[in-house]
Every structure is written in C-alpha cells, then in structure tokens.
Amino acid sequence: MDQDLQLSLANNAKEWLALSLSISSAEKQAFRKVHDGFFTSYGAKFMAHVYRTTFEQMLQSMPDTERNRLLTTLQYVMDQAIDEHYGTLHG
C-alpha cells in the first residue's frame, strides 16, 4: 500500500475515532439497537445491501484518485480474506 493511501486511511481512522468518541453512550446504544433490530428482522442479505449502498454513496463523494486507491486496496484486502478463508477450509 503506498504511503499517501496509508496516511489518508490513518487520518480517516482518526476522524472516525473522534466522531465515535463524541457520540454519547446513549446514542451508541440507540444506534446498536436499530442496527441489531434491522439485522434480526431482515437478515444478513439485507444488511449487506445497506452496507453496499452506504459504501457506494461514500465513493461518489470522493475525488477520483482517492476512490481508485481505496477500491484497489479494498480488492487487495478482499482477495486476502478469501484466500485465508478458503485456505483454512481446504488447507
């Protein structure tokens, strides 16, 4: 992974952490309740659709260069996870 992308991802993680820390425990619990309720009511396929839609909307607001780097990294990480998963199942 190139250094610019690592720095960008690290900065993103710091921003998410700051946001997470700024959300009260009550808000976190309310979000968790809604999230878990949707998951229980509609299942994993529905939640995968929600996550995908959220990710697609996020990508639309990114500059092309950053979006391309993120998608390249996502593909790399997914390939690794698939290899590890199937390696443990068949290895």
pLDDT digits (tens, 9 = 90+) for 31-66: 899 999 999 999 999 999 998 898 888 888 889 998
Q: Judge whether residue 70 has pLDDT over 80.
A: yes
Cβ-contact 46, 36 below 8 angstroms: no
Residue located via tokens 């996550």: 51
Cβ-contact 32, 24 below 8 angstroms: no
pLDDT of res. 25: 85
Q: Judge whether residue 91 has pLDDT over 80.
A: no
pLDDT of res. 39: 92
pLDDT in tens, 4-24: 777 788 777 787 777 777 888
